[in-house]
Structure 1
């Protein structure tokens, strides 16, 4: 994990339970004798996230409706810290600055990136989503925590930046965790593989929740990011760095080919490691 990631040394369950006593009801002892939670249990995951957000990021209120995606906080934090490095590498801006404006595409009901980004770096966030219910929940989280986060509903599922970035706006960064699967069937098959990896029988159709827009779109993440790349050209003067997570490394080559056609000034692939898992995001600027 990133050197500034507060979760790089694992979970301090004693400290987390002191912050949120409710978490103690979800603790288990693994076969190796370690204290943990049941990561196949959605309610345990939600409670762990609450404790992490309260303990490390000063979040007073965080709730997630049924069937919405429950994000892994440590991995989400890595993306935020890597973006801070990306920003500083070219602009020499201070890591923490309220003058930095960030656009979170597809923020979801969990609002996880703005919560971490504001707590760690005081960045100003605008967040968009196509799902009205997700934005309603995100708005409640922002209001309960006295956070000034601008939330925008994207009215057209075929667009990414259009209708979201206004003519007079400028963002130092955009970020996105795009839908991965190409169809609902693919999403359910992926869910079954996750349950098998956990050596558990499925207890829900979609692993740990997730609305359709969070998990899949026609053409999967490759088509989604290609649309993002093409639209980004229209906002070349209004964004410093465009970025997007890429789950499938096999998508990198075709995405880079699409990017080169847009003639950006610079393209970067930034890798992030969480244990044995390697994630990455694609970044470009004009």
Structure 2
């Protein structure tokens, strides 16, 4: 992962072939160990063609229970429940995002930044509150999760309140304005070292359904209809899709230039990077990074930007230590 400056107008991208080195989910799932952490997973375990234990990844209930087991084993989360039909994300890929953000911030510190002095803002944390859980349990950061959905906010707050390790480290805040991203969440004089976001990728329900059909094909379930992944409308699609959403985030980030060290968002489609980077230049971002992540055949990207120079970031981080 290498940096580039808009002054050079050159793009360099990291291309890891595997999960981040600090990701706890390397290799195949250890199903027996996960059953030990969450015994209810046993009801969903079956043998694959090689005779190894696995689950049916097209079964929402099985995937939900797998996530519960992963959170129990690796992150000491004992209570984790989602409302019906809310997004149940794959945890290994989510963990990669957090670890790469830690690397990005580490440039401003003599060692990998850990502890409650590091403030992370998760935009659209959802009912699952996965990113805050990983950030808290991996690095001890202080995390604010925000969402426009009142059901998601209540579900996330219940997860936090029900786990002693999370309660002092995570705050869940409702965003009252569906058109605002940072306003109403970042208070005057409040500072965040990092912001992150997994935006709604699709521009319509039809696009989301098309993606689902491709998933069914990949899972050898051709001929079945409907999305094989849960998720509410605002979690999966919005008017204009991720390009419009991230563009709005970039535009609004200008209002909080001195209060955030690094802004970031996932970007699923590579073709969106060029217009987003053009917008970043137009709003005066000083630094930008594209971090490529791979999980098997899936490729995703983190777009990160800052209105501070590297030297200013180091000073900023010393002030917030």
TM class, shorter-length: over 0.9
TM-score (ref. length: structure 2)? 0.86
| Count of paired positions | 286
- Higher mean C-alpha displacement, 103-112 vs 161-170: 161-170
Specify the alignment match of 1:136 in structure 2: 154
More relative contact order, 1 or 2 (CA 8 Å, 6+ apart): 2
Summarize the Cα distance change of 1:203–1:156 in structure 2 as closer, same or farther, 3 Å threshold: farther
Structure 1 CA distance for aligned equivalents of residues 188 and 246 of structure 2: 22
CA contact (8 A) 2:67 2:90 kept: yes
Structure 2 CA distance for aligned equivalents of residues 254 and 93 of structure 1: 34
Specify the alignment match of 2:196 in structure 1: 175
Task: Please give the residue correspondences for 1:1-286 in structure 2 after superposition, counting only pairs within 5 Å.
Answer: 1-92=19-110, 94-146=112-164, 147-148=167-168, 149-200=170-221, 205-286=226-307
CA contact (8 A) 1:188 1:205 kept: yes
Q: Which runs of 5+ in 1 are unaligned?
A: none
TM-score (ref. length: structure 1)? 0.96
RMSD: 1.4
Indicate the SS of the match to 1:206. Answer: coil
Q: Which runs of 5+ in 2 are unaligned?
A: 1-18, 308-321
CA contact (8 A) 2:59 2:228 kept: no
Indicate the SS of the match to 2:172. Answer: strand
CA contact (8 A) 1:242 1:285 kept: yes
Summarize the Cα distance change of 1:26–1:87 in structure 2 as closer, same or farther, 3 Å threshold: same
Deviations 1:185-232 (CA, angstroms, capped at 9, x unpaired): 221222222122212157673332100000001000000000000011
Name segments (4+ residues, structure 1) moved above 2 Å.
90-95, 201-207
CA contact (8 A) 1:16 1:52 kept: yes
